[in-house]
């Protein structure tokens, strides 16, 4: 069980799917891991338990960082927390693995908006700058694992990462019914052409991107 104060993102299907992908990664001895958008710290905790020697958890929410710190401390796990937005200020790397469960729900803002999951009209307000930042965060043979919804353009993410000469693949998928947030936004999603008429499910996807010898520094 994880401590979760009000206003902190609750681990859900996307957290679980990214955790499954993390379990499939072989971390090198002494590996450093960065958890972007840590929320409760669920994935930071999982990274330590997967063999990471050094884990840094970052978020823009002070409340989330407090939760992540507490959840790591009660388990006596070595997780550092930092308040930062990686699209503007890069944590000190390099990292052997970068994990990210960013906001990705398409929503233009305004009423009923939440920074925990909303990410602009096409759901890419956080994903796009993150794709630009990742190559500068990875070690020589580092990897990046990102979970997102099919509603926020999986193909666009793959292209953005490949343009930085990272080698990409999709390592996990899961179809789930719309939750309360997306059910409230069906009209908007249909108007934007992000779902077809009557669609009431999305696909969660975990993208893996690996640094290669050709990756620009």
- Report CA-CA distances (Å) from 123 to 157, 179, 180, 211: 11, 16, 17, 25
Element (H, E) at 64: helix 62-73
Q: Is the pLDDT of residue 7 over 60?
A: yes
Of the pLDDT bands very low, low, confident and very high (cuts 50, 70, 90), residue 216 is very low
**Predicted TM-score (pTM) above 0.85:** yes
State residue 214's pLDDT score.
54
Strand, helix or coil at 6? Answer: coil
Kindly state the average pLDDT of the residues 27-40. 95
Q: Which CATH number does the domain 13-210 belong to among 3.40.50.720, 3.40.50.150, 3.30.360.10, 3.40.50.300? A: 3.40.50.150
The answer to whether residues 178 and 203 touch, using CB atoms and an 8 Å cutoff, is no
């Amino acid at each position: 069980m994880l401590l979760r104060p009000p206003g902190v993102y609750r681990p859900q299907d996307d957290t679980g799917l990214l955790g499954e992908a993390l379990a499939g990664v072989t971390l090198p001895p002494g590996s450093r891991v960065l958890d972007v958008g840590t929320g409760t710290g669920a994935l930071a905790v999982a990274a330590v338990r997967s063999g990471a020697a050094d884990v840094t958890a970052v978020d823009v929410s002070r409340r989330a960082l407090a939760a992540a710190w507490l959840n790591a401390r009660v388990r006596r796990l070595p997780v550092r927390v930092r308040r930062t937005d990686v699209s503007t200020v890069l944590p000190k790397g390099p990292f052997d693995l970068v994990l990210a469960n960013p906001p990705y729900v398409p929503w233009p803002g305004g009423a009923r908006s939440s920074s925990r999951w909303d990410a602009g009209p096409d759901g890419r307000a956080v994903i796009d700058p993150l794709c630009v930042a990742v190559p500068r965060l990875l070690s020589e043979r580092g990897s990046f694992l990102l979970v997102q919804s099919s509603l926020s353009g999986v193909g666009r993410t793959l292209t953005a990462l490949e343009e930085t000469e990272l080698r990409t693949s999709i390592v996990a998928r899961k179809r789930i019914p719309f939750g309360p947030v997306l059910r409230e936004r069906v009209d908007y999603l249909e108007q934007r052409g992000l779902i077809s008429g009557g669609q009431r499910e999305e696909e969660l996807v975990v993208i893996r991107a690996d640094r290669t010898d050709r990756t620009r520094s």
